[in-house]
Amino acid sequence: MIEHLGVVIYGKDENKRCKMASTTKIMTITVVLENVKNLEDIVTVSSKAAGTGGSRLGLHTNDKITVKDLLYGLMLCSGNDAAVALAEYVAGGVPEFADLMNKKAKELKLKDTHFETPHGLDEEEHYTTAYELAKITDYALKKEEIQKIVKTQNYTISINGYPKNIKNTNELLGNLEGVYGVKTGFTNGANRCLVTSVKRGDMDIICVVLGADTKKDRTQDSIKLIEYAFSNYQMVDIKFMIEDEFDTLVDKTLFYVEKGINSNVKIDLENHNLSLYPVLIGNVKDVKIETEIRDKLVAPVIKNDKIRKINRKN
């Protein structure tokens, strides 16, 4: 699936619930950063964290490491041990941390996402969809610290005061134009997964591939989707089209307020983040703005009532 600012450019089974392996950690790092004030806090690694299987940072019981270095270990080398250490430090345990993850999913209005762990090892009730994983990623990448971490190819952390160099598992980072993150994943249940963020010029997309049979498949599928988006779409600035439509509304529409003292209604355009919008190259000339209006109102008219929708159409 390919997304730009909430707009799905291309999708196949994007709403199907799937296991997502270590792409889970995109939500993990988000929850950690929203609950830890000081990234230089020292974490003492528990035996449970140290004994976590799968991909590892290489932590041992009673190791001491900062939250910041754990986050790099979480996202670069996909350390499941780092994920559990962070969960225990933030929430006291894995179930309690999963509650925070699910709370954030609810805040993001995700209906087909549920977390059981901070690392993504297979659990029956641990799942998301390609579309909702893209929404999680879009939210996460608004945090500068996350952008900084996921675009890092090599990093030196410190465990018990000793340096250790780690490398990013994202095979597209540094090898495909514009890639600046974000996360790989693999379990037997989820197969090969890859979430990629790519920016070229004024187009910034998130590509999600879940359930690929091999690492080669996920890499090739991701590249094909990314190149398709940049070859076939261009960004159209619809901000001015929306504002022109609003000005026309103000100039030409007469409002009637039933039971009102008068029909003088002050109208404002709600803040919107629509500016650049992806459009198929051959369809740019067909982009239009259409509106829905409620010009007959019943008093009392409340401040911030919505009376019109302005939609893009092409």
| DSSP H or E stretch at residue 182 | strand 179-187
Task: From the candidates 78, 104, 183, 197, give the one annotated as an active-site residue.
Answer: 78
- What's the CA gap between 88 and 90, in Å, rounded? 6
Is 22 annotated as catalytic? Answer: yes
DSSP per residue over 129-170, as a string? -HHHHHHHHHHHTTSHHHHHHHT-SEEEEEETTEEEEEE---
Q: Which residue has the tokens 């609950």?
A: 35
Q: What Cα–Cα distance (Å) separates residue 169 from each residue in 204, 231, 278?
A: 22, 27, 30
Residue tagged active-site, from 22, 46, 55, 222: 22
Q: Are the C-beta atoms of 205 and 198 separated by less than 8 Å? A: yes
Residues making up the chain, counted from first to last: 314
Residues 72 and 291: their CA atoms lie apart, in Å, by 47
- For strand 179-187 and strand 191-200, is the pairing parallel, antiparallel, or unpaired? antiparallel
Kindly report the backbone phi and psi dihedral angles of residue 232, in degrees, each rounded to the nearest multiple of 5, phi listed first.
-115, -10
Pick the catalytic residue from 19, 25, 104, 135. 25
Rounded distance between C-alpha atoms, residue 82 and residue 114, angstroms: 21
Strand partners of residue 169: none
47 part of the active site: no
* First CA to last CA distance, the chain: 21
Residue 25 a catalytic site member: yes
Of the candidates 110, 97, 106, the residue with the CA atom closest to the CA atom of residue 31: 97
> Which residues does the annotation mark as catalytic?
22, 25, 78
